[in-house]
Amino acid sequence: MKASRFFIGTLKEAPADAEIVSHKLMVRAGMIRRVAGGIYNYLPVGLRSIRKVEAIVREEMNRAGAIELLMPSVQPAELWQESGRWVKYGPELLRFKDRKQSDFVLGPTHEEVVTDIARNQIKSYRQMPVNFYQVQTKFRDEIRPRFGVMRGREFIMKDAYSFDKDTEGLKETYRKMYDAYVRIFTRLGLEFRAVAADNGSIGGSGSHEFHVIADTGEDAIAYCPTSDYAANVEAADALPLVSQRAAPTEPLTKTATPGKAKCEQVAEYLNIPLERTIKSIVLATDNEGAEPTLWLLLLRGDHELNEIKTAKQPGLADFRFATEAEIVAWFGTPPGYLGPLNTKKPVKVIADSTVANMSDFVVGSNEVDYHTTGVNWGRDLPEPAVADIRNVVKGDPSPDGKGVLELCRGIEVGHVFQLGTRYSVAMNATYLDETGKPQPMVMGCYGIGVTRILGAAIEQNFDDKGIIWPEAIAPFEVVLCPMGYDRSDAVRERADKLHDELMAAGIDVILDDRGERPGVMFADWELIGVPHRLVIGERGLKDGKIEYQGRRDTEATLLPVAAAAQTVIDKIKAALAH
């Protein structure tokens, strides 16, 4: 490809709305252009990378036995009413009416449509397993689209939906998809981690997320460096940090802690470890026609509430945080000095599993400026309900017992999920089993955010000059920068020859024949992030040399002219050899 026949749209400045580096660099590199909030044009440079991601995804999906089809963007409301999501799905679901006033949605996912296909096409257990996938444009009406392709409204996804006759079959299909995803992200050249979206062990889990590791990631991930345990912090099991409760040693003592409303302040003031203090969090659940139920959740002072795990506790599915008025009414005091002792009205107490094993601990006295020390379960308080309701922290024991947890941040780019029969039961997608009895199909779904991968790859691979693409998804693998393409026959002939040699070897090469100054040329390709560069100059050619620089290299190296093409070919092939 010659640059004069292509479209390079680099910019000096990033747009004002770009908050994160991948958004800034994608705009500056001429990969995307904003059309409306969360809606982008994919310019030629950007589309090349998208197509490379898609190609790898397709190859691995096909290899794993999935079959490609294409479902529409515009979907009739009837299907969503059948599944129940017409009502349940929030305003991210873009609903509209066509000219005949029929209701439609712009598809954010395709469970309904694919289940409709399956119930019409699959009659017998003999036709399963089947796994349909598509690479398709989705729409989600995000309330706050931002971060470029990371949280867009219109975006490209690979979504797959599997149909099995039973849970065993689903587990087998799920494992194949899990393996395919590992291959996909490995081939893409990304540092990634598959993490359990619920209980953390691959075999038993119903759901895994695939995260590209990046400091700027929205998600916190807990992993064990000495085992294969990894889970989203949202879902990671937190083991009790005190294995057995010690006997009480201190008397119950009400102590003045003036102005010390936070656990950290109390610990410092009383000169005790933060691990002896207990944090009180008050939730409420509403009861129709009656006053709400208030819940007091107790966490160790250095721990944080995990709302996902909390919502899984009996009675707490629809919890909300209590209002200050409610807290005053139930505890007799505003937030700051709350605790389980002497509440004004009864509350339901849940102790985090670590808290449940603590003794001689400190809680608020339900009186401004007072805490109570030497508190003990059984002696001073009834035994509490116990649950895992906190986020894991660095240093926690790994739930698999094989080490301690580390934390990192990640960007979710893939998700595999065992749906089970949720959609097939709601939409009556049944097959006849070996005995001729109708059974609901057992489904899985498997998504990859194609356009999001570009943003994630950049968050993981950039420097102050621009993007640093992994070879597999670079818009071009190598750029040829001739010094004086128009002026020097020797330079032009050598550049053209290199171009043709690299093309013939199947390398994605671009020859910058635009006639820009070297500084502009280098800056453009560093910004765009082409991983390999060859500079062809008259002086070098006189010495039989061509200058090579990898995008991560701090300096150029000189290659003999005759070896230049092959050196680059070898480097690229090595990088792609996953």
Indicate which single residue of 85, 119, 153, 276 sits in contact with a copy of itself (rule: CB under 8 A).
153
509 binds a copy of itself (CB under 8 A): no
Residue 106 C-beta: closest distance to a copy of itself, Å: 7
Looking at beta carbons only, is 38 or 200 nearer to a copy of itself? 38
Backbone torsions φ then ψ of 125, nearest 5 degrees:
-55, -25
Residue 450 C-beta: closest distance to a copy of itself, Å: 11
What is the rounded radius of gyration, in angstroms, for the C-alpha atoms of the chain?
29
Which has the closest alpha carbon to 447: 74, 40, 138?
A: 138
Specify the stretch interacting with a copy of itself by CB under 8 A; choose among 45-53, 208-216, 330-338, 517-525.
45-53
47 binds a copy of itself (CB under 8 A): yes
List strand residue ranges (DSSP E) for 125-227, in order: 130-139, 154-164, 192-196, 207-213, 219-223
Rounded to whole angstroms, the Cα distance separating 159 from 391 reads 30
83: CB partners within 8 A, 6+ apart = 111, 112, 115, 423, 426, 427
Indicate which single residue of 9, 206, 292, 518 sits in contact with a copy of itself (rule: CB under 8 A).
9
279 forms bridges with which residues in the sheet? 299
**Strand 103-106's sheet: what is its strand order?**
74-76, 103-106, 94-97
What one-character DSSP code corresponds to residue 124? B
Looking at beta carbons only, is 136 or 359 nearer to a copy of itself? 136
Indicate which single residue of 99, 517, 539, 552 sits in contact with a copy of itself (rule: CB under 8 A).
99
Indicate which single residue of 154, 198, 508, 526 sits in contact with a copy of itself (rule: CB under 8 A).
154
Residue 5 C-beta: closest distance to a copy of itself, Å: 6
Structure-block tokens of residue 349:
């107490």
Rounded to whole angstroms, the Cα distance separating 361 from 294 reads 23
The position carrying tokens 């998809």 is 177
Per-residue exposure over 273-298, b if at least 16 CB sit within 10 Å of its own CB, e if not: ebbbbbbbbbbbbeeeeeeebbbbbb
Residue 29 C-beta: closest distance to a copy of itself, Å: 13
Terminal C-alpha separation, the chain = 26
Residue 69 C-beta: closest distance to a copy of itself, Å: 5
Binding to a copy of itself by CB under 8 A, coded x per residue (else -) over 51-80, reads --------------x-xxxxxxxxxx--x-
Secondary structure (DSSP) of 201-236: -TTT-SEEEEEEE-TT-SEEEEE-TTSS-EEETTT-
Looking at beta carbons only, is 106 or 213 nearer to a copy of itself? 106
141 binds a copy of itself (CB under 8 A): yes
Indicate which single residue of 3, 27, 117, 453 sits in contact with a copy of itself (rule: CB under 8 A).
117
Structure-block tokens of residue 399:
């739930």
Residue 37 C-beta: closest distance to a copy of itself, Å: 8
Residue 141 C-beta: closest distance to a copy of itself, Å: 5
Rounded to whole angstroms, the Cα distance separating 178 from 189 reads 17
50 binds a copy of itself (CB under 8 A): yes
Residue 182 C-beta: closest distance to a copy of itself, Å: 21
CA 433 from centre of chain: 37
Indicate which single residue of 3, 29, 53, 113 sits in contact with a copy of itself (rule: CB under 8 A).
113
Rounded to whole angstroms, the Cα distance separating 397 from 224 reads 9
423 binds a copy of itself (CB under 8 A): no
392 forms bridges with which residues in the sheet? none
Residues 18-37 that bind a copy of itself (CB under 8 A): 33, 35-36
41 binds a copy of itself (CB under 8 A): yes
248 binds a copy of itself (CB under 8 A): no
Looking at beta carbons only, is 117 or 180 nearer to a copy of itself? 117
434 binds a copy of itself (CB under 8 A): no
476 binds a copy of itself (CB under 8 A): no
97 forms bridges with which residues in the sheet? 103
Footprint of a copy of itself (CB under 8 A): 5-7, 9, 33, 35-36, 39-44, 46-47, 50, 65, 67-76, 79, 91-92, 94, 96-99, 102, 104, 106, 113, 116-117, 120-121, 130, 132, 137, 139, 141, 143, 153-154
